[in-house]
Amino acid sequence: MAAPKKVEQITNMDADFAQWFTDVVTRAELISYSGAKGFFVLRPYGYAIWENIQNFLDRRFKDYGHENVSMPLLIPESLLQKEKDHVEGFAPECAWVTFGGGEELEERLCIRPTSETLFCDHWAQTVHSWRDLPKLYNQWCSVLRWEKTTRPFLRHREFLWQEGHTLHATEEEAIAETERMLEVYAETYTTQLAMPVIRGLKTDKEKFAGAERTYTIESMMHDGKALQACTSHYFGDGFARAFNITFTDKNNQQSYPFQTSWGLSTRSIGGLIMTHGDDNGLVLPPRVAPVQVVVIPVAAHKPGVLDAANELWQRLKNAGIRTKVDDSDNSPGWKFSEHEMRGVPLRIELGPRDIEASKCVAVRRVDGEKVEIPLTELEARIPALLDEIHDLMYAKALKHLNENIFTATTLDETRDIITTRGGFIKTMWCGDAACEVRMKDDAGVSSRCIPFEQEHIADTCPVCGKSADKMVVWGVAY
């Protein structure tokens, strides 16, 4: 007999995954819908997750010498038009300001969908010599892309992100930077979000508009679909030439610098929800959870219980653990269900008998396992338990990923796998864009990446039968 649902407002994930996701993000108070279609309110609990991701990334960026800057919100149309491929790639998603102060503007202003052109315009004015390089900049901001279909966290018309932009004297330095930042993102997903990822290159069809190469990390959700977790782009000197950014090199010659950009957004929160959540709601990785430990006083009306709970809270807070005490007048059972639904990694139950025995009971959200902890060992055991929870969540997600990656050697086999089992499919590929399009049209899958870790599955492309030397991971993407 199945266990009863603890939160009736949340749809069973295997019955309707899309509705489950919407139920979770609204019931857990991560997001609210706003009055403007496609725009969302990121509520305090959801924003706190973003802050924890942001804090980790910001430290890592600064470890590599990056500096934070702030660029304008609006881009003159003439500026956007300077890089042809870039503007064509973003044209369908652009929103424009045509009036200001009640008067029609002489030139339309685009609300930034990304900021490459703004950085280029700035660098054209400020970079003159090899001594000015490299430029290692990052911006924390929101951007606007006029998506036709929107979903909380996954596709917003306005969303929060960071966008790194760098300028280098040599191609080698720029490529190394692009690859380095992809590794920072992979580190963020694995060590903070407990999400395994596949690293690779995008095909030319899927790469960023204006880029020479786009590096990506791809992750798999509970329903087997792919989420592009983040990307890192190498631009070569194309933008520099378009914007006439030049510098005098060490040989006293005029040269064009080489450029990169890279970004991670609040879509990452959608990814961790769909990777770790269950039918009772969120399951948050401890290192980004707004509350890592919630203390629940049991029989709180009895003398000394609330005082002991608050003392425990203070000790954990002093140990650097994000902790709260739920001293509301709701029943302990209600509190257990509420904080489970909100994904708090660890619950501590403390009642009169526990106090008498100088212990508490810790309950892990990920699997419900209960652990008795002597109060004298609290500061040592709780951080270790949180690390165990992270490792368990990562191992569980990795097992799901590995069990849902399949191999195919023909188009029919690819179609059959995606229809009956879903997940990711590995095939060889000849490199012809026409075969990539046919995989999409006939099998319903898009190329996720050309993985760095290559395998030789077969000698030929599953679509055209020609010789193939690249392995591609395919999937249905959000």
Q: Hey, where are the domains in the chain?
A: 46-276, 293-385, 405-475
Q: How far apart are CA 371 and CA 378, in angstroms?
A: 12
CB 320 within 8 A of CB 373: no
φ/ψ of residue 168, rounded to 5 = -135, 155
Find all residues with CB under 8 Å of 125, minimum gap 6, and list them. none
What is the architecture of the domain spanning 293-385? 3-Layer(aba) Sandwich (3.40)
Quick check: 35 pLDDT over 90? yes
pLDDT score for 189: 98
Between strands 346-350 and 293-297, the pairing is parallel
What integer pLDDT is reported at residue 300 of this predicted model? 76
Q: What is the pLDDT of residues 174-232, one digit of tens each?
A: 999 999 999 999 999 999 999 999 999 999 999 998 999 999 999 999 999 999 999 99
- Residue linked to tokens 């990307």: 231
- The neighbour count for residue 125, using CB atoms within 10 Å, is 9
Rounded to whole angstroms, how far apart are CA atoms 148 and 169?
Answer: 40
How far apart CA 439 and CA 338 sit, in angstroms, is 44
For residue 421, which phi and psi values (nearest 5 degrees)?
Answer: -125, -25
**pLDDT for residue 7:** 60
Stretch among 1-10, 71-80, 291-300 having the lowest mean pLDDT:
1-10
- Dump pLDDT digits (tens) for 440-470: 999 999 999 999 999 999 999 999 999 999 9
Mean local confidence (pLDDT), 20-48: 97
- 1 — pLDDT class (breaks 50, 70, 90): very low
Across-strand partners of 450?
Answer: 201
What would be the CATH architecture of the domain defined by 405-475?
2-Layer Sandwich (3.30)
Element (H, E) at 201: strand 198-201
Domain 46-276 of CATH type 3.10.20.30? no
Q: Percentage of the chain with pLDDT > 70?
A: 98
Distance, in Å, from the CA atom of 365 to the CA atom of 468, rounded to the nearest integer, reads 46
Residue 83 pLDDT > 90, yes or no?
A: no
Token output for 277 = 């959540």
Q: Give pLDDT, residue 212.
A: 97
Which carries the bigger pLDDT value, residue 304 or residue 62?
A: 62
Pick from 293, 297, 326, 308: nearest CA to 375? 308
CA torsion through residues 304, 305, 310, 312, sign? positive
- Which two structure tokens, joined as six digits, stand for 376? 């004298």
Confidence band (pLDDT; 50, 70, 90) for 84?
confident
- Angle at the Cα of 153 from the Cα atoms of 150 and 154, rounded to 5 degrees: 55
pLDDT band of 258, cuts 50, 70, 90: very high
Range in 41-55, 88-102, 177-191 with the lowest mean pLDDT: 88-102
Q: Is the pLDDT of residue 141 over 60?
A: yes
Mean pLDDT, residues 143-157? 95
Split at pLDDT 50, 70, 90, the class of 299 is confident
The yes-or-no verdict on residue 2 having pLDDT over 50 is: no
**Overall average pLDDT of the 157-180 stretch:** 98
pTM above 0.85, yes or no: yes
Task: For the chain, give the mean pLDDT.
Answer: 95
Token pair, residue 385, equals 């338990």
CA pair distance 478, 475, nearest whole angstrom:
10
How many CB atoms within 10 Å of residue 169? 20
> For residue 138, which amino acid is it?
N
Do β-strands 254-255 and 293-297 pair in parallel, antiparallel, or remain unpaired? Answer: unpaired
